[in-house]
Amino acid sequence: LAAVHDAVVELAATRQRRSIEEAAFDNIWRGM
């Protein structure tokens, strides 16, 4: 059960980091 929890937390962190990177990329594009 702990392994499943860790996998879910890792997936959520990856998804959150990707959305942050996409937002930063959009901001860079708009700034140009």
Q: How far apart are the first and last CA of the chain?
A: 47
Angle at 3 between CA 9 and CA 18, to 5 degrees: 25
Q: Which amino acid is at 14?
A: T
pLDDT the model gives residue 23: 96
For 22-31, the pLDDT digits (tens) are 999 999 999 9
Which pLDDT does position 32 carry in this prediction?
Answer: 83
Confidence of residue 8 (pLDDT cuts 50, 70, 90): very high
Angstrom distance (rounded) from CA 18 to CA 30: 18
- Return d(Cα 8, Cα 4) in angstroms, integer: 6
